[in-house]
A and B are shown apart, each in its own frame.
Chain A
């Protein structure tokens, strides 16, 4: 698994993808910090983190689109799958490589918090809550998009289906306000990433929300591994 992690992590920086992803994330972080904190003259970083939720939803598919599909298209999966590493180990290696790049990309928010701390006083419990929320959101989104990438040989299809998945996560929130049935309302509320993320933005680390995001991540990593295993039996 570590070998796959190292290769995938380096692969991000052997191509422009890793640099561009981090740069774009830093750009939006800086932009929303400027608009939400510097212009408004406030140390409350909620605006920044709320905006980053949407940014993350639409940038993560770019990060993960090549993870599984590229190996399938190029045939390099034959080298991986005939090595003494389990298929789940291979998936985990790829997953954590993407997650490591993601962590680097959201580190910009931490830098902004340090800037606030330098000139004023940062509300660290809230910022840490925000960061944990952002990390968990990324962990589950990367797993979903990794799974989608494993379903196709095309990076474009992987990215588009990732965007569709992200968009549907946003649409779930919209559905909550329009459906009348209580069961559906509860179900959509339960599945809403935005609702669960919102708790972190007000500084509340709800254990059920943590478990929800981690469960989604674990489920889709396992599904990706199972997808590879299924292909072995086809």
Chain B
């Protein structure tokens, strides 16, 4: 469905994409994962024909996005990161305008059936008569998703579709994307690894304009799993716990964080890189008769993942709670 070869893009003197190549099969849900500014949106803008690449080729369903843009774009449904709309239009009018723009569903009855079906799928059935400007942010995003689905495109490109949605809307959006992936190829971008893992069959990590990794979510999880860092909630006197943990040879650093339960602290425990400290910690606590109430594996921050997969992990990064990976 998508063939990208040696894509390079400069903004002035700045190289934002550096020789990117990948292919995407039909009905594959692919996540573009990267930090803000990594080049995800630029890739999507080039795939949709909004921007032109400095060099390299993009073929959508066999059509070149530059030389045969009209045919290539007929296969694309696109939800931009910042979905903009015409404030004076009602949902139904806007979707009908997109039908006209895409040149699909010209027959009135056929169009009505198609739009009803899409609105039902995205949860807009009761909002079709409302002005878009009067809708909540979540519903506006649904309108954006609905317009992308018009004409049943073979490729759906969604740029940060869950950004700025509340948690329940995020769950709905994920479900919609998973469902759509059964019929179309989907490219979805995010800087949230967990988000991508829940929706995608495949993850392409973009870092500083290059592909840092191209793997399944499971494969990526294995790469990023950190067994030498953990957070443990342990009951007992703080000094006893610290002594017990510091007696473990593979443990390098222990720090009491906060008392979350009466008499029980959360401890950050860090061992030698490449070792698995979990069993040693368990045995040391059992030997000292200190009840282990709860453990949490400390996953790496996204930046650490990039350092890890690009082989530049110095393991000297300070431990940071990562909001992005929650």
Binding site for B on A (CB under 8 A): 2-4, 6-7, 11, 14-15, 74-76, 78-86, 232-234
Contacts and interface: CB of A to CB of B under 8 A. Distances in A.
B138 interface: no
B101 A83 contact: yes
A78 B88 contact: no
B225 interface: no
A86 B69 contact: yes
B143 to A, nearest CB: 11
Contact of A78 (B74, B76, B80, B100): B80
Nearest to A71: B84
B78 A82 contact: yes
A84 B80 contact: no
Given A7-B100, A75-B84, 17 more contacts: A2-B100, A3-B97, A3-B100, A76-B85, A78-B80, A78-B84, A80-B101, A82-B48, A82-B50, A82-B73, A82-B80, A232-B49, A232-B50, A232-B51, A232-B52, A233-B51, A233-B52
Contacts of A79: 80, 84, 98, 101, 147
B198 interface: no
A81 B86 contact: no
Nearest to A73: B84
7 contacts: A7-B86, A11-B86, A76-B86, A82-B78, A84-B69, A85-B70, A85-B101
B103 interface: yes
Contact of B82 (A2, A75, A81): A75
Interface residues of B, number: 27
Given A3-B100, A75-B80, A81 B49 contact: yes
A165 B73 CA distance: 37
B74 A84 contact: yes
Contacts of B82: 75
Interface string B79-108: 010101110110000000110111100000
A84 B103 contact: yes
A85 B70 CA distance: 6
A86 B101 CA distance: 11
B102 A78 contact: no
Contacts of B11: 234
Nearest to B93: A10
Contacts of A75: 80, 82, 84
B67 to A, nearest CB: 13
B147 A6 contact: no
A76 B102 contact: no
A44 B173 CA distance: 68
A153 B51 CA distance: 18
A86 B103 CA distance: 13
Contacts of A4: 101
B49 A82 contact: yes
A82 B82 CA distance: 14
Nearest to A93: B101
Nearest to B147: A79
Interface string B167-182: 0000000000000000
B100 A6 contact: yes
B88 A83 contact: no
A80 B69 CA distance: 13
Contacts of B69: 84, 86
Nearest to A78: B80
Nearest to A2: B100
A234 B50 CA distance: 11
